[in-house]
Structure 1
C-alpha cells in the first residue's frame, strides 16, 4: 500500500467472492483476471483443493472507479463461473475479516484413524474454552492422519489442559503450542533412547547375554513406572552384569533396532537446522555408536565400568538419572545457544519427566499413564517421525526433501527393516 492510499478500515465496503466446483488449471488466474476489470484491491485470499474440488475465496474492495457497480461485478463473475461450470457466491460487507482474538495456538491432532466423532469432540472442546477455529489443514494422511487447527481467542495453557482431558477420553493425540515466530526458530530436540529412539531396552539386551534378563526386566519396569528410585535401580541392575565379557558390546550394537521413523525424524530436523541429541539412562557403549550412526550433535549416558575386558558391575562418572536428564537438557541448550522455551524433549519413562517438563515442548512417546498425564503432549502411535507434525512440518514436505536428496519415496516408511515395530513393543516404556 502506498503512502497516499487510505488504510483499510471497518467502514470500507468489501465483497467476499467464493468460487467452488471441479478444479482445473487456470481457475485462480481466471478469477483475478475477471476482477481486474473492476480495479478492485485484494485484501485476503484462501484456496483449498480436496479430491479435485476447489474452494477459492477472495476478499476484495467493492468497485469504486470508472462507473463500475457491484451489480456489474456480480453479473460478470457469475457469467465467468457458469462458462466453466463452476458456482459462485458473493457476499457484501465492510472492512477486513473479523480480527482474530488474542491468544493464538496451533492444535495438532493425530488419529489412527481420525474419526468424525473425535474431530467433533476436539472442535467442541475448543469452542467450550472460548476459542475460535480460524483455519484447518492436513499435515499427513499416513501412517496416521494429522491435521492442524489454528485457534485464537484463548490462551495456550487453558486450551492445552482442556484438550488433554478430551483427547485422553477419545483416543487421539493432541498437541497444543503457542503461535509465533519461535515455532519456526532453529531449535534443539533431545530424546530418550531406550524404547524412544530405539525399540529395545539396552540393559535387558546385556542381561540376556549374562543370563539374568528376567530379573533386570522386572527392575526396569518398576523404575519406569516410578515405583523405584532410578539410581538405586540402575546400580542393582548393573551389578547383575558383573563378570560379563565386554566384547558383548559389539553384539548388542548390531542388534539395536531403531524405532520406526527415527531416521526420518533426525534427518528432517537436521535439514531444518535443528540440533539433535540424546540423553539416556542406558550406556555410552551404545549411545556413542548411535551418535555416530545418526549424526547427532549431543549424547550423554551412563558408562559401564570395564576392567581386564569384563564388566565390573559398576558405572563410572556422572549418573544420568531423572534429575540428570533435565540438567543435561539445560547444558545442551546452553551449548547450542537455544533458550529452553525453544527446546523439545521426547521420552517415555518416569525418569524422563523432569526433562519433559523443563523443555518448551515435552512429548510423551508411547508412555505410561503417569508420563502422558504430566507431559505437554503425548504421541501413542509407533512412529517417531510423527513428532514432526507437532512442529508444523507436513508429510509432503518431508517426502519432497527426501526425493530431492535422492531417497526413494517412502524410503524408511515402507522399505527399511526397522520401520516395523517389534511385536509387543508398541506400548512399552524404557530408561
Structure 2
C-alpha cells in the first residue's frame, strides 16, 4: 500500500501597508481562511490613517502560490502595498523562544516630548540588548499650531522584550536622562500584577497637597521658621521623623483649633489630583492616605475626593487649643509600610497589586514595600532610591504609569 506524500509546510511573512479603511483585514483574512492557511502571528497598527498590517502564515506548497496571487490582486484593488517574505521553521522556533523572555514596559512622560528624548531612551534600550516590540501614544494628539500649555503633557509607552544586561545600570541611565532632559521614565516588568493593581496609597503633604500642613499651622502659631527648618531636615532624612514630629508639634502649643478649618479649605491641591481620583474610582481601585501629617486634613481630602481610608496623626486638644502633644502612635515611615500591608490584607489583594506614592524620606519604606513605588516630585535621596519617579507633571501622571490612555480617562 502506497502512503500519501506528506505536504511540505511553508511559512510566509506577509506585510501590508497603505491607506487605512474599514474592511481591509476582513478581505485579506477571508482569502487566507478559504485556503485554510494557519495564522501563526498577526499585528496591526495605524498612524495618521496609514495602515501597517502583518501576518505570519503556515500553508503548504500546493496552496501557497494561489494564496499569494489572490492576496496580490486584492491588495491592488485596495490600493495597498504587499510584500511576501519566506521564512524557515528554524527562524520561527527561534522567534517563539524569544517570546519566553521577559517583557518590559517603558513609559516616557513629560510636558513636551521630542525626537531627542526618544533617541536617548531607545539608545539605552539597544545598549542593554532589549528589542522594542511596539510603541503607542497614551496622551491625546497635540494640534499642530497650538501654543505649548504650561499644563500640557505627552506620554508614550514602549513594550520591549529581552533580559537587560544590567538592570541597575539601565535604571541609573534613565534617571540621568530624566534629570537632564526634564522627562520621566518608568521601567516596569510587564507581568500579571502590573495589569491588576487594586490598592493605591498616598502620602498627603507635598504629594496630594502642595504644602506641609504642619508648616501652615506653625505660621499661624508664629513659629513658622523654626518648624519649617525641622520639617526640611526630616524630609531629607537628616533627622529621625518621630523626633522631629514631637519637636514640631510641641511648638504648636496654644494654637486655636479654629484655624484648622480655614487651612483645610485653602489647601493648595496638587495638579491632577481630581482627575486621577475620578479615574481610579471608576476603575475600581481602593485608595488610602497614609500620612505623617494630621487626620483632620486627611479626612477633609477623603470627603472631598472620595478616598477610602485615612491613617494619620491626631493632635490633642483642650479647651479649643492645641496642647502641643499628639494622641496615639506616630505614623512614621515604618508605620506607613505596616499600614500598606494591613490594607492589602483587608482588601484581599497581593502586595504586588499595591501602589505607593510619596515624596519624603519617611515614604521610602512603603515605596519599597508596594508592588509599584513612585517617588512623586521627591527629594533627591528619595528619587534615587525609589524604582520609579514622577517629577514633570501632576498626580494624573500616575495613571500613565498604570497604562491608562487619555481616551479611556475621558469616557
Q: Bin the TM-score by the shorter chain.
A: 0.7 to 0.9
Give the Cα separation in 2 of the matches to 1:296 and 1:341.
Answer: 21
Give the aligned partner of residue 111 of structure 1: 110
Give the aligned partner of residue 354 of structure 1: 365
Give the Cα separation in 1 of the matches to 2:207 and 2:371.
Answer: 19
Following superposition, the deviation at residue 12 of structure 1 comes to: 4.1
Whether the 8 Å CA contact 1:164–1:174 is kept in 2: the answer is no
**Equivalences for residues 68-147 of structure 1 within 5 A:** 68-70=63-65, 72-95=66-89, 96=92, 98-99=95-96, 100-141=99-140, 143-147=152-156
Give the aligned partner of residue 52 of structure 1: 49
Whether the 8 Å CA contact 1:190–1:278 is kept in 2: the answer is yes
Deviations along 1:243-280, one digit per CA (max 9) or x if unpaired, are 11111121111112321211222222222222110111
Give the Cα separation in 2 of the matches to 1:186 and 1:387.
Answer: 12
Give the aligned partner of residue 62 of structure 1: 59
Question: Structure 1: 5+ residue runs without aligned partners?
Answer: 1-10, 401-431
Query: 1:321 aligned to 315, 325, 332, which one?
Result: 332
Whether the 8 Å CA contact 2:197–2:355 is kept in 1: the answer is no
For these two proteins, the number of residue pairs brought into alignment is: 386
Give the aligned partner of residue 372 of structure 1: 383
Give the Cα separation in 1 of the matches to 2:169 and 2:184.
Answer: 13
Question: Structure 2: 5+ residue runs without aligned partners?
Answer: 1-7, 142-151
**Equivalences for residues 156-235 of structure 1 within 5 A:** 158-159=166-167, 161-169=169-177, 170-171=180-181, 172-235=183-246
- TM (normalized to structure 2)? 0.87
Residue 101 of structure 2 aligns to a residue whose secondary structure is coil
CA pair 167-80 structure 1, distance change in 2 beyond 3 A: farther
Give the Cα separation in 1 of the matches to 2:332 and 2:32.
Answer: 65
Deviations along 1:301-331, one digit per CA (max 9) or x if unpaired, are 1111110111111211110112222222222
CA pair 200-342 structure 1, distance change in 2 beyond 3 A: same
Whether the 8 Å CA contact 1:108–1:175 is kept in 2: the answer is yes
Give the aligned partner of residue 413 of structure 1: none
Following superposition, the deviation at residue 349 of structure 1 comes to: 0.9
CA pair 158-266 structure 1, distance change in 2 beyond 3 A: farther
Cα RMSD (Å) = 2.2
Whether the 8 Å CA contact 1:230–1:351 is kept in 2: the answer is yes
- TM (normalized to structure 1)? 0.83
Following superposition, the deviation at residue 294 of structure 1 comes to: 2.2
Following superposition, the deviation at residue 160 of structure 1 comes to: 5.7
**Equivalences for residues 231-246 of structure 1 within 5 A:** 231-246=242-257
Residue 269 of structure 1 aligns to a residue whose secondary structure is helix
Give the Cα separation in 2 of the matches to 1:351 and 1:186.
Answer: 23
Structure 1 position 398 matched with structure 2 position 409: yes
CA pair 91-312 structure 1, distance change in 2 beyond 3 A: same
Give the aligned partner of residue 145 of structure 2: none
Give the Cα separation in 1 of the matches to 2:337 and 2:169.
Answer: 23
Whether the 8 Å CA contact 2:256–2:320 is kept in 1: the answer is yes
Give the Cα separation in 1 of the matches to 2:224 and 2:236.
Answer: 18
CA pair 111-13 structure 1, distance change in 2 beyond 3 A: farther
Question: Mean alpha-carbon deviation: is it higher for 92-101 or for 278-287?
Answer: 92-101
Give the Cα separation in 2 of the matches to 1:368 and 1:219.
Answer: 15
Give the Cα separation in 2 of the matches to 1:228 and 1:289.
Answer: 29
